[in-house]
Chains A and B, each alone.
Chain A
């Protein structure tokens, strides 16, 4: 086996020419160049994120106090106040959106991964989901405006939830499908071979094996839309007041609902120092919540594959 290629005894094909080693210089140079490029690119990407976070912390931290979470925004030109109504509104809008989209996306994803598979319908559904994920969020906002806000003749927090749910749904479905596809088929076969029906194997074995990934996917899908502004511009709009119950002009279904992102957008453009400070504070809250939940999820499920 290790005999030099030139040794040749007996019959058979003619001997091969001896192997000539390549020079190492070029390979090492290319290696070094790629290494430097990768390092620079990675650093640049991470640096941008740190710059943003640093800037937001610097400018926003001073706005954060107890009142920031509990008080209404001040009258224009005055001091004090907070974004309590916007924080509450964002929580409610996002929660309702998650309530609508996560179960639908979850079961849709299960269907794609376990039942539809590579059938024609599943391929179509998957394509539509992929296209929907690529729709700019402002378009979703305008769509819900036309479909819900205009017919009802008023903006509402609920319309905002629907818009966010519209964005979450395909994300959740595709995430669920991708995660379920990571569960090896042997596990499905083992479950079925025990004489369990398909739905039981899916819920009791496959989903359980993928649970950490599924929970992470659901939280990240929720957190992602919690930071959206564009879908709320034409739906939830904004409000200087507290959310007042469900119906009525200040209720969740009945009227414009304050929310963090739109408020940050509005206040950041105002020529008043306090309003700008509050906007930075709002931005900080959003970033901390989104980053915090991301990191938290990774920490909780660091063990990764549990099954």
Chain B
């Protein structure tokens, strides 16, 4: 079993709970070896509560998002995973009765405070959604959208930046002759990579991904997972997923949510091999979902 990754273990339906932690840790993540507390946090969530009208959806969430690491957010449907990360860029404010209280510290400020410049916040914390959502414009204009919004640049610079973002999103080869075509004309997986290109073009610090692969096929999913691995050198990534194999494959740290509470946070290998909480164990072994 040496060298077997967590994901393979899970895929084989192996008895991961009895596998010694050291063996599982031989996977790709080095997170077990580093000291979580000493890593720089990009986002620190403290005492975050969230309300849909009168109904409370998050309860006192605490979470540290570490720089240049991939943090996976897992948990059963309706447990508040998406709700949680949607507070980071305050996108929930599109809806009148959604309210968040507590602290989401980012760049030395609480983003939930009223003085936050939302446009700048959202430039620095980009987001990828469940359903690919190319804008109704050309491939080029999609990628240029944030660049034009946030930066001054001439046409040549813009073209260079668009090309660079598409290359870093592993999409350039597929679309370099289709830059003038509507973004919607691409396949589902390409559309999602287009959205990633659009997001990273404006150089955010953090990329939030809200179940980015749940609406696309397995081959496209594999490409996006590869992309996530490549991107974490430059970006801090938070990915919500209901696919535990995916969490195991792509993330360094995992937070397990249950009914609005964060039950357990830790190195992904540990969460999947040696969870400290009963609820986490039940979830990852499929006793409930």
Contacts and interface: CB of A to CB of B under 8 A. Distances in A.
Interface of A: 117-119, 184-197, 200, 204-205, 208-209, 211, 306-307
B131 A195 contact: no
The 7 closest A-B pairs by CB, nearest first: A195-B122, A193-B127, A307-B136, A195-B123, A190-B133, A209-B136, A195-B119
9 contacts: A184-B131, A189-B127, A193-B91, A193-B127, A194-B122, A194-B123, A195-B118, A195-B150, A307-B184
Contacts of A119: 96
B106 interface: no
A192 B199 CA distance: 12
Interface in B199-216: 199, 202
Nearest to A194: B146
Given A187-B133, A190-B133, A196 B119 contact: yes
Contact of B94 (A184, A189, A194): A189
Given A117-B96, A194-B149, A189 B137 contact: no
B120 A195 contact: yes
A211 B119 CA distance: 26
A194 B131 CA distance: 15
A191 B89 CA distance: 12
Contacts of A184: 131, 133
B184 A192 contact: no
B89 to A, nearest CB: 6
A196 B91 contact: no
A200 B149 contact: yes
Interface of B: 89, 91, 94, 96, 118-123, 126-127, 129-131, 133, 135-137, 145-146, 149-150, 182, 184, 195, 198-199, 202
B135 A306 contact: no
B137 A192 contact: no
A307 B183 CA distance: 9
Contacts of B198: 194
A186 B131 CA distance: 8
A79 to B, nearest CB: 56
Nearest to A188: B94
B278 to A, nearest CB: 28
Contacts of A192: 91, 94, 122
A22 to B, nearest CB: 36
Nearest to B129: A186
Nearest to B125: A193
B145 A196 contact: yes
B86 to A, nearest CB: 9
Given A195-B120, A197-B119, A306-B136, 18 more contacts: A184-B131, A185-B94, A186-B133, A189-B94, A189-B133, A190-B135, A191-B135, A192-B94, A194-B122, A194-B145, A194-B199, A195-B123, A195-B150, A196-B146, A196-B149, A200-B149, A209-B136, A307-B136
Between A188, A192, A197, the greatest number of chain B beta carbons within 10 A of the residue's beta carbon is seen for A192
Contacts of B127: 189-190, 193
Contacts of B184: 306-307
A208 B182 CA distance: 12
A222 B146 CA distance: 37
A194 B133 contact: no
Contacts of B118: 195
Nearest to A210: B136
B84 to A, nearest CB: 15
A129 to B, nearest CB: 21
B91 A189 contact: yes
Contacts of B135: 187, 190-191, 204-205, 208-209
B149 A195 contact: yes
A200 B202 CA distance: 17
A208 B91 contact: no
Nearest to B119: A195
B129 A190 contact: yes
Contacts of B133: 184, 186-187, 189-190
A252 to B, nearest CB: 39
B195 A190 contact: yes
Nearest to B147: A194
Between A189, A191, A204, A211, the greatest number of chain B beta carbons within 10 A of the residue's beta carbon is seen for A189
Contacts of B146: 194-196
Contacts of A204: 135
Contacts of B129: 186, 189-190, 193
Contacts of A187: 133, 135
Contact of A208 (B119, B137, B199): B137
Nearest to B141: A204
B236 to A, nearest CB: 16
A49 B274 CA distance: 74
A306 B121 CA distance: 31
Between B122, B126, B182, the greatest number of chain A beta carbons within 10 A of the residue's beta carbon is seen for B122
A193 B145 contact: no
